[in-house]
Amino acid sequence: MKQLKVGNGLVSDIDLGPLIHRDAVAKAQTIVDDAVEQGARLIHGDQSMAPGPNFFMPVLLADVTPTMKAWREENFSPVAGVTAWHDEEEVIEMANDTEYGLAAYVYTHDIRRIWQLMRGLRFGMVSVNSVKMTGAPIPFGGVKQSGLGREGGRQGLDEYLDIKYYCLGGLASASGS
């Protein structure tokens, strides 16, 4: 996280641009404060280094628990919370224990674990070993309280279609009469 460059998102070597507005920055800080107050460890995230009022420096929180906002809320900010787990079944249960389901990220090179996690995670998108998973041809969207339907890709057109099914049965042979 220390290597991530925060600044003007239009500059080619910048990794993280500003948040949408100051309220988003305040929400991100509330999520971090809540976690720390409940016992999470702040591993990284010095906000004094932010290049402006709409910027939020990346935060890494350890020992995040289900009672914390960092676990329960979609924060749309560079706040990452981590916690320990013992096996894939437990981590799938923990990850799915949310009313949201936009995106999940898996980091491993164990192909068995990759397939088990991709199948078990209830999210609209699952990315393996990368945070860059969206683009114009990708059907972007979530499940549960993170939305219905998709935008992008051919699946994004479905929202604009009104499909009608026709079934014709029992017709006599077509004659010229």
Residue 35 counted as domain residue: yes
Strand partners, 172: none
What is the C-alpha separation between 103 and 138, in angstroms, rounded? 13
> How many separate domains does the chain show?
1
Residue 12 counted as domain residue: no
Residue 112 counted as domain residue: yes
Q: What is the pLDDT of residues 122-155, one digit of tens each?
A: 999 999 999 888 888 888 888 999 988 888 888 8
CB 73 within 8 A of CB 55: no
What is the C-alpha separation between 156 and 132, in angstroms, rounded? 19
**Nearest-CA neighbor of 31 among 71, 66, 2?**
71
Residue 105 counted as domain residue: yes
Residue 7 counted as domain residue: no
Strand partners, 41: 62
Asked if pLDDT for residue 176 goes beyond 60, the answer is no
What is the C-alpha separation between 49 and 131, in angstroms, rounded? 23
The domain spanning residue 63 has which CATH number?
Answer: 3.40.309.10
pLDDT in the model for residue 32 = 98
Higher pLDDT among residues 172 and 151, named by residue? 151
Q: What is the pLDDT of residues 33-88, one digit of tens each?
A: 999 999 999 999 999 999 999 999 999 999 999 999 999 998 899 999 999 999 99
Using CA atoms, how far residue 137 sits from 104, 133, 152, in Å, is 19, 11, 6
Mean pLDDT of 91-118: 94
**Nearest-CA neighbor of 99 among 64, 149, 144?**
144
Mean pLDDT of the chain: 90
pLDDT in the model for residue 168 = 67
Residue 169 counted as domain residue: no
Entry pTM: 0.79
Residue numbers of the domain that contains 61: 22-160
Residue 6 counted as domain residue: no
Asked if pLDDT for residue 172 goes beyond 80, the answer is no
Question: How many CA atoms within 13 Å lie on the side-chain side of 158?
Answer: 12
